[in-house]
Structure 1
Amino acid sequence: MDFLPEHLQVYIEENTEAENGLLRQINRETHLNVLKPRMLSGHLQGRVLSMISHMIKPTNILEIGTYTGYSALCLAEGIQPNGKLITIDVNEELEDQVNSYFSQSPYKDIIEFRIGNAQEIIPTLSYEWDMVFIDADKGSYPAYFEMTLPNVKAGGFIVIDNVLWSGKVAED
Protein backbone atom coordinates (compact mmCIF):
# COMPACT_ATOMS: atom_id res chain seq x y z
CA MET A 1 0.00 0.00 0.00
CA ASP A 2 1.49 3.34 -1.07
CA PHE A 3 0.62 6.27 1.14
CA LEU A 4 2.28 9.03 -0.86
CA PRO A 5 2.17 10.09 -4.48
CA GLU A 6 5.30 8.94 -6.30
CA HIS A 7 6.68 12.48 -6.78
CA LEU A 8 6.54 13.07 -3.01
CA GLN A 9 8.18 9.72 -2.33
CA VAL A 10 11.01 10.62 -4.72
CA TYR A 11 11.41 14.06 -3.12
CA ILE A 12 11.61 12.59 0.38
CA GLU A 13 14.12 9.94 -0.68
CA GLU A 14 16.30 12.53 -2.43
CA ASN A 15 16.33 14.76 0.66
CA THR A 16 16.91 12.13 3.31
CA GLU A 17 20.29 11.10 4.67
CA ALA A 18 21.61 8.06 2.81
CA GLU A 19 21.83 4.64 4.43
CA ASN A 20 25.23 3.78 5.83
CA GLY A 21 26.94 0.68 4.48
CA LEU A 22 25.69 -1.71 7.16
CA LEU A 23 22.08 -0.54 6.92
CA ARG A 24 22.26 -0.82 3.13
CA GLN A 25 23.61 -4.38 3.54
CA ILE A 26 20.81 -5.33 5.94
CA ASN A 27 18.21 -3.84 3.61
CA ARG A 28 19.57 -5.71 0.59
CA GLU A 29 20.14 -9.05 2.32
CA THR A 30 16.72 -8.93 3.98
CA HIS A 31 15.04 -8.40 0.62
CA LEU A 32 17.09 -11.16 -1.01
CA ASN A 33 17.13 -13.82 1.69
CA VAL A 34 14.44 -13.37 4.35
CA LEU A 35 10.75 -14.16 4.26
CA LYS A 36 8.41 -11.17 4.37
CA PRO A 37 10.98 -8.43 3.63
CA ARG A 38 8.10 -5.94 3.79
CA MET A 39 8.48 -6.17 7.58
CA LEU A 40 11.84 -4.37 7.38
CA SER A 41 11.68 -0.85 8.81
CA GLY A 42 13.69 0.39 5.86
CA HIS A 43 15.48 3.57 4.97
CA LEU A 44 12.88 6.30 5.52
CA GLN A 45 11.38 4.82 8.67
CA GLY A 46 14.90 4.17 9.93
CA ARG A 47 15.80 7.83 9.52
CA VAL A 48 12.65 8.85 11.42
CA LEU A 49 13.52 6.43 14.25
CA SER A 50 17.06 7.81 14.35
CA MET A 51 15.72 11.38 14.46
CA ILE A 52 13.35 10.52 17.33
CA SER A 53 16.17 8.82 19.21
CA HIS A 54 18.45 11.83 18.74
CA MET A 55 15.69 14.16 20.00
CA ILE A 56 14.89 12.03 23.06
CA LYS A 57 18.56 11.27 23.88
CA PRO A 58 17.59 8.01 25.59
CA THR A 59 19.70 6.04 28.00
CA ASN A 60 17.57 2.90 27.89
CA ILE A 61 15.56 1.68 24.90
CA LEU A 62 13.40 -1.41 24.62
CA GLU A 63 12.53 -2.67 21.17
CA ILE A 64 9.91 -5.38 20.80
CA GLY A 65 10.33 -6.96 17.38
CA THR A 66 13.90 -7.04 16.04
CA TYR A 67 13.36 -8.75 12.69
CA THR A 68 16.76 -8.32 10.98
CA GLY A 69 18.01 -5.53 13.25
CA TYR A 70 17.61 -2.48 11.00
CA SER A 71 15.43 -0.46 13.36
CA ALA A 72 17.54 -1.34 16.42
CA LEU A 73 20.63 0.09 14.73
CA CYS A 74 18.73 3.25 13.80
CA LEU A 75 17.42 3.68 17.35
CA ALA A 76 20.92 3.14 18.77
CA GLU A 77 22.22 6.18 16.87
CA GLY A 78 20.78 8.57 19.47
CA ILE A 79 21.48 6.59 22.61
CA GLN A 80 23.51 8.25 25.36
CA PRO A 81 26.91 7.07 26.61
CA ASN A 82 26.53 4.07 28.91
CA GLY A 83 23.11 3.47 27.40
CA LYS A 84 21.48 0.14 26.66
CA LEU A 85 19.18 -1.05 23.92
CA ILE A 86 17.45 -4.36 24.53
CA THR A 87 15.73 -5.82 21.50
CA ILE A 88 13.51 -8.89 21.59
CA ASP A 89 12.39 -11.18 18.80
CA VAL A 90 10.76 -14.58 18.73
CA ASN A 91 12.34 -15.72 15.42
CA GLU A 92 15.38 -17.79 16.34
CA GLU A 93 16.05 -18.54 12.66
CA LEU A 94 17.32 -14.97 12.24
CA GLU A 95 19.46 -14.96 15.41
CA ASP A 96 22.86 -15.60 13.78
CA GLN A 97 22.20 -13.12 10.99
CA VAL A 98 21.08 -10.39 13.39
CA ASN A 99 23.98 -11.01 15.77
CA SER A 100 26.35 -10.72 12.81
CA TYR A 101 24.91 -7.32 11.89
CA PHE A 102 25.06 -6.09 15.47
CA SER A 103 28.67 -7.24 15.87
CA GLN A 104 29.64 -5.18 12.80
CA SER A 105 28.06 -2.02 14.17
CA PRO A 106 29.54 0.70 16.37
CA TYR A 107 26.71 -0.11 18.82
CA LYS A 108 27.70 -3.74 19.42
CA ASP A 109 28.49 -3.06 23.08
CA ILE A 110 25.15 -1.40 23.88
CA ILE A 111 22.73 -3.68 22.03
CA GLU A 112 21.48 -6.76 23.83
CA PHE A 113 19.54 -9.15 21.59
CA ARG A 114 17.13 -11.54 23.27
CA ILE A 115 15.36 -14.41 21.53
CA GLY A 116 12.03 -15.54 22.91
CA ASN A 117 8.49 -14.56 23.73
CA ALA A 118 8.46 -10.85 24.59
CA GLN A 119 5.56 -11.31 27.00
CA GLU A 120 7.75 -13.68 29.01
CA ILE A 121 10.97 -11.66 28.70
CA ILE A 122 9.66 -8.16 29.49
CA PRO A 123 8.71 -8.96 33.12
CA THR A 124 12.30 -10.14 33.73
CA LEU A 125 13.79 -6.78 32.72
CA SER A 126 14.53 -4.27 35.46
CA TYR A 127 15.05 -1.04 33.55
CA GLU A 128 13.34 2.29 33.33
CA TRP A 129 12.80 2.96 29.66
CA ASP A 130 13.29 6.33 28.01
CA MET A 131 11.85 4.84 24.86
CA VAL A 132 9.96 1.71 23.89
CA PHE A 133 9.53 0.80 20.22
CA ILE A 134 6.85 -1.81 19.53
CA ASP A 135 7.01 -3.45 16.11
CA ALA A 136 5.94 -7.06 16.58
CA ASP A 137 2.83 -9.22 16.39
CA LYS A 138 0.03 -6.72 16.05
CA GLY A 139 -2.46 -8.68 18.17
CA SER A 140 -0.18 -8.36 21.18
CA TYR A 141 0.26 -4.58 20.95
CA PRO A 142 -2.19 -3.86 23.80
CA ALA A 143 -0.38 -6.35 26.06
CA TYR A 144 3.05 -4.92 25.17
CA PHE A 145 1.79 -1.41 25.89
CA GLU A 146 0.35 -2.41 29.27
CA MET A 147 3.47 -4.39 30.21
CA THR A 148 5.94 -1.63 29.37
CA LEU A 149 4.05 1.48 30.47
CA PRO A 150 4.82 1.10 34.21
CA ASN A 151 8.57 1.10 33.45
CA VAL A 152 8.60 4.06 31.08
CA LYS A 153 10.25 7.05 32.74
CA ALA A 154 8.22 10.21 33.22
CA GLY A 155 8.56 12.05 29.92
CA GLY A 156 9.48 8.82 28.13
CA PHE A 157 8.04 7.65 24.84
CA ILE A 158 6.30 4.56 23.52
CA VAL A 159 6.45 4.45 19.73
CA ILE A 160 4.19 1.88 18.09
CA ASP A 161 4.71 0.87 14.47
CA ASN A 162 2.04 0.23 11.90
CA VAL A 163 -1.02 0.56 14.09
CA LEU A 164 -3.15 0.85 10.95
CA TRP A 165 -1.67 -2.45 9.70
CA SER A 166 -1.98 -1.44 6.04
CA GLY A 167 -5.67 -0.68 6.57
CA LYS A 168 -6.51 -4.10 8.03
CA VAL A 169 -7.63 -2.56 11.34
CA ALA A 170 -10.56 -0.92 9.55
CA GLU A 171 -11.64 -4.32 8.23
CA ASP A 172 -11.94 -5.90 11.70
Structure 2
Amino acid sequence: MEIIDPKAEAYASQYTSPEDALLQEISAATWASHAHAHMLSGHVQGKLLEMISCLMQPRRILEIGTFTGYSALCLAKGLLKDGKIHTIELRDEDASVARANFNRSIDAGKIILHVGNALSIIPGLNETWDLVFIDADKVNYTQYYQLVLPLVRPGGLILADNVLFHGQVLQQPITGKNAKAIQAFNEFVQEDVRVDKVLLTIRDGLLMIRKK
Protein backbone atom coordinates (compact mmCIF):
# COMPACT_ATOMS: atom_id res chain seq x y z
CA MET A 1 0.00 0.00 0.00
CA GLU A 2 1.42 3.40 -1.03
CA ILE A 3 1.11 5.92 1.80
CA ILE A 4 2.79 8.89 0.13
CA ASP A 5 2.24 9.68 -3.54
CA PRO A 6 5.50 8.79 -5.34
CA LYS A 7 5.27 12.12 -7.19
CA ALA A 8 5.15 13.95 -3.84
CA GLU A 9 8.15 11.95 -2.62
CA ALA A 10 10.09 12.81 -5.78
CA TYR A 11 9.12 16.47 -5.38
CA ALA A 12 10.27 16.45 -1.74
CA SER A 13 13.59 14.95 -2.79
CA GLN A 14 14.02 17.58 -5.50
CA TYR A 15 13.68 20.39 -2.99
CA THR A 16 15.79 18.78 -0.25
CA SER A 17 19.53 19.45 0.04
CA PRO A 18 21.45 16.69 -1.76
CA GLU A 19 23.23 13.82 -0.07
CA ASP A 20 26.99 14.02 0.22
CA ALA A 21 29.08 11.77 -2.03
CA LEU A 22 29.53 9.00 0.57
CA LEU A 23 25.82 8.77 1.34
CA GLN A 24 25.05 8.65 -2.39
CA GLU A 25 27.48 5.77 -2.79
CA ILE A 26 26.06 3.87 0.21
CA SER A 27 22.53 4.32 -1.10
CA ALA A 28 23.43 3.15 -4.59
CA ALA A 29 25.40 0.15 -3.31
CA THR A 30 22.62 -0.88 -0.92
CA TRP A 31 19.95 -0.73 -3.61
CA ALA A 32 22.16 -2.61 -6.04
CA SER A 33 23.13 -5.48 -3.75
CA HIS A 34 20.89 -5.80 -0.68
CA ALA A 35 17.72 -7.88 -0.71
CA HIS A 36 16.13 -5.54 1.84
CA ALA A 37 17.31 -2.21 0.45
CA HIS A 38 13.91 -0.64 1.25
CA MET A 39 15.08 -0.55 4.88
CA LEU A 40 17.51 2.26 4.00
CA SER A 41 16.50 5.63 5.45
CA GLY A 42 17.20 7.36 2.16
CA HIS A 43 17.64 10.93 1.01
CA VAL A 44 14.75 12.92 2.53
CA GLN A 45 14.50 11.07 5.84
CA GLY A 46 18.28 11.00 6.13
CA LYS A 47 18.43 14.76 5.70
CA LEU A 48 15.71 15.15 8.35
CA LEU A 49 17.74 13.02 10.78
CA GLU A 50 20.79 15.14 10.01
CA MET A 51 18.88 18.38 10.54
CA ILE A 52 17.39 17.24 13.86
CA SER A 53 20.85 16.22 15.04
CA CYS A 54 22.39 19.51 13.92
CA LEU A 55 19.68 21.48 15.72
CA MET A 56 20.11 19.47 18.92
CA GLN A 57 23.92 19.27 18.82
CA PRO A 58 23.86 16.09 20.90
CA ARG A 59 26.75 14.64 22.85
CA ARG A 60 25.39 11.09 22.93
CA ILE A 61 23.22 9.39 20.31
CA LEU A 62 21.91 5.83 20.37
CA GLU A 63 20.79 4.10 17.19
CA ILE A 64 19.03 0.74 17.39
CA GLY A 65 19.35 -0.87 13.96
CA THR A 66 22.41 0.14 11.93
CA PHE A 67 21.67 -1.64 8.63
CA THR A 68 24.36 -0.44 6.16
CA GLY A 69 25.21 2.70 8.14
CA TYR A 70 23.39 5.42 6.20
CA SER A 71 21.28 6.81 9.05
CA ALA A 72 24.13 6.69 11.58
CA LEU A 73 26.25 8.83 9.27
CA CYS A 74 23.38 11.31 8.93
CA LEU A 75 22.91 11.51 12.70
CA ALA A 76 26.65 11.84 13.34
CA LYS A 77 26.78 15.12 11.41
CA GLY A 78 25.24 17.04 14.32
CA LEU A 79 27.39 15.63 17.12
CA LEU A 80 29.47 17.94 19.28
CA LYS A 81 33.24 17.64 18.86
CA ASP A 82 33.45 15.24 21.79
CA GLY A 83 30.20 13.51 20.85
CA LYS A 84 29.67 9.82 20.10
CA ILE A 85 26.97 7.77 18.43
CA HIS A 86 26.52 4.19 19.56
CA THR A 87 24.82 2.13 16.88
CA ILE A 88 23.69 -1.48 17.31
CA GLU A 89 23.24 -4.04 14.53
CA LEU A 90 22.07 -7.61 15.05
CA ARG A 91 23.25 -9.04 11.72
CA ASP A 92 26.97 -9.68 11.26
CA GLU A 93 26.86 -9.16 7.50
CA ASP A 94 25.15 -5.77 7.68
CA ALA A 95 27.45 -4.71 10.52
CA SER A 96 30.48 -5.55 8.38
CA VAL A 97 29.18 -3.39 5.53
CA ALA A 98 28.35 -0.55 7.92
CA ARG A 99 31.80 -0.69 9.50
CA ALA A 100 33.44 -0.37 6.10
CA ASN A 101 31.21 2.59 5.30
CA PHE A 102 31.97 4.27 8.62
CA ASN A 103 35.69 3.91 8.01
CA ARG A 104 35.31 6.04 4.88
CA SER A 105 33.72 8.91 6.81
CA ILE A 106 35.33 11.94 8.46
CA ASP A 107 33.11 11.10 11.45
CA ALA A 108 34.51 7.57 11.83
CA GLY A 109 36.05 8.41 15.20
CA LYS A 110 32.65 9.41 16.59
CA ILE A 111 30.85 6.19 15.65
CA ILE A 112 30.88 3.12 17.92
CA LEU A 113 29.37 0.02 16.32
CA HIS A 114 28.04 -2.81 18.49
CA VAL A 115 27.04 -6.17 17.04
CA GLY A 116 24.42 -8.24 18.82
CA ASN A 117 21.09 -8.03 20.61
CA ALA A 118 20.24 -4.44 21.51
CA LEU A 119 18.20 -5.46 24.54
CA SER A 120 21.35 -7.03 26.00
CA ILE A 121 23.80 -4.36 24.85
CA ILE A 122 22.01 -1.15 25.88
CA PRO A 123 22.06 -1.71 29.68
CA GLY A 124 25.86 -2.05 29.57
CA LEU A 125 26.51 1.24 27.77
CA ASN A 126 26.04 3.40 30.89
CA GLU A 127 25.13 6.54 28.98
CA THR A 128 22.56 9.32 29.16
CA TRP A 129 21.12 9.84 25.69
CA ASP A 130 20.29 13.13 24.00
CA LEU A 131 18.86 11.47 20.91
CA VAL A 132 17.71 7.90 20.19
CA PHE A 133 16.73 6.45 16.80
CA ILE A 134 14.77 3.18 16.84
CA ASP A 135 14.79 1.38 13.50
CA ALA A 136 15.10 -2.32 14.25
CA ASP A 137 12.84 -5.37 14.60
CA LYS A 138 9.29 -4.16 15.04
CA VAL A 139 8.16 -6.73 17.59
CA ASN A 140 10.57 -5.25 20.14
CA TYR A 141 9.80 -1.55 19.61
CA THR A 142 7.88 -1.20 22.86
CA GLN A 143 10.64 -2.99 24.78
CA TYR A 144 13.31 -0.75 23.24
CA TYR A 145 11.26 2.32 24.14
CA GLN A 146 10.71 1.21 27.74
CA LEU A 147 14.39 0.40 28.08
CA VAL A 148 15.78 3.67 26.71
CA LEU A 149 13.28 6.27 27.95
CA PRO A 150 14.67 6.33 31.52
CA LEU A 151 18.14 6.84 30.00
CA VAL A 152 17.09 9.84 27.87
CA ARG A 153 17.72 13.26 29.37
CA PRO A 154 14.75 15.57 29.95
CA GLY A 155 14.13 17.38 26.68
CA GLY A 156 15.83 14.59 24.73
CA LEU A 157 14.30 12.95 21.69
CA ILE A 158 13.40 9.43 20.63
CA LEU A 159 12.70 8.91 16.93
CA ALA A 160 10.94 5.71 15.87
CA ASP A 161 10.86 4.69 12.22
CA ASN A 162 8.27 2.71 10.23
CA VAL A 163 5.36 3.65 12.48
CA LEU A 164 2.93 3.51 9.53
CA PHE A 165 4.37 0.12 8.53
CA HIS A 166 3.61 0.24 4.82
CA GLY A 167 0.05 1.36 5.54
CA GLN A 168 -0.84 -1.84 7.32
CA VAL A 169 -1.71 0.03 10.55
CA LEU A 170 -4.44 1.86 8.58
CA GLN A 171 -6.24 -1.34 7.66
CA GLN A 172 -8.97 -2.92 9.75
CA PRO A 173 -8.49 -5.40 11.11
CA ILE A 174 -4.73 -5.03 11.44
CA THR A 175 -3.08 -8.30 10.48
CA GLY A 176 0.51 -9.50 10.60
CA LYS A 177 2.89 -9.74 13.52
CA ASN A 178 4.90 -6.61 12.67
CA ALA A 179 1.92 -4.37 11.95
CA LYS A 180 0.27 -5.43 15.21
CA ALA A 181 3.50 -4.72 17.10
CA ILE A 182 3.79 -1.25 15.58
CA GLN A 183 0.15 -0.48 16.39
CA ALA A 184 0.72 -1.58 19.98
CA PHE A 185 3.83 0.61 20.17
CA ASN A 186 2.02 3.66 18.76
CA GLU A 187 -0.80 3.19 21.28
CA PHE A 188 1.67 2.73 24.15
CA VAL A 189 3.48 5.98 23.33
CA GLN A 190 0.19 7.81 22.81
CA GLU A 191 -0.84 6.99 26.38
CA ASP A 192 2.56 7.79 27.93
CA VAL A 193 2.19 11.07 29.85
CA ARG A 194 5.98 11.32 30.29
CA VAL A 195 6.42 12.43 26.68
CA ASP A 196 5.10 14.72 23.97
CA LYS A 197 4.83 13.19 20.54
CA VAL A 198 4.09 13.92 16.90
CA LEU A 199 3.74 11.38 14.08
CA LEU A 200 5.27 12.60 10.83
CA THR A 201 4.03 11.18 7.53
CA ILE A 202 7.49 11.04 6.02
CA ARG A 203 8.59 7.89 4.20
CA ASP A 204 7.08 5.01 6.23
CA GLY A 205 6.13 7.16 9.21
CA LEU A 206 8.44 8.70 11.81
CA LEU A 207 7.29 9.17 15.40
CA MET A 208 9.06 12.04 17.18
CA ILE A 209 8.94 11.68 20.95
CA ARG A 210 10.23 14.35 23.37
CA LYS A 211 10.82 13.44 26.99
CA LYS A 212 9.30 16.04 29.33
TM over 0.5: yes
Using the TM superposition, give the Cα deviation of residue 7 of structure 1 relative to its aligned residue in structure 2, in angstroms: 3.9
1:92-107 matches, within 5 Å, as 92-107=92-107
Determine whether 1:20 maps to 2:14: no
Query: SS at the partner of 1:109?
Result: helix
Q: Which amino acid aligns with 2:73?
A: L
Q: Deviations over 1:73-101 (max 9, x none)?
A: 00011111100100001010122211110
May I ask how many residue pairs the two structures share in their alignment?
172
TM-score under structure 1 normalisation? 0.95
Using the TM superposition, give the Cα deviation of residue 9 of structure 1 relative to its aligned residue in structure 2, in angstroms: 2.5
> Match for residue 87 of structure 2?
87
Determine whether 1:148 maps to 2:156: no
Using the TM superposition, give the Cα deviation of residue 6 of structure 1 relative to its aligned residue in structure 2, in angstroms: 4.0
Q: Deviations over 1:52-88 (max 9, x none)?
A: 1111111100000000000000001111110010000
Stretches of structure 2 that go unaligned for 5 or more consecutive residues are 176-212
> Match for residue 10 of structure 2?
10
Query: SS at the partner of 1:27?
Result: helix
Q: Deviation above 6 Å: which 4+ runs of structure 1?
A: none
Partners of 1:133 and 1:95 in 2: how far apart?
A: 17
TM-score under structure 2 normalisation? 0.78
Q: Which amino acid aligns with 1:168?
A: Q
1:61-80 matches, within 5 Å, as 61-80=61-80
Determine whether 1:47 maps to 2:47: yes
Instruction: Answer with 16-25 or 93-102: which moved more.
Output: 93-102
Q: Deviations over 1:12-47 (max 9, x none)?
A: 111111111110111011011112100000111100
Query: SS at the partner of 1:75?
Result: helix
> Match for residue 126 of structure 1?
126
Query: SS at the partner of 1:24?
Result: helix
Task: Please give the root-mean-square deviation of Cα atoms over the aligned residues, in Å.
Answer: 1.2
Summarize the Cα distance change of 1:34–1:6 in structure 2 as closer, same or farther, 3 Å threshold: closer
> Match for residue 159 of structure 1?
159
Partners of 1:114 and 1:59 in 2: how far apart?
A: 18
> Match for residue 136 of structure 1?
136
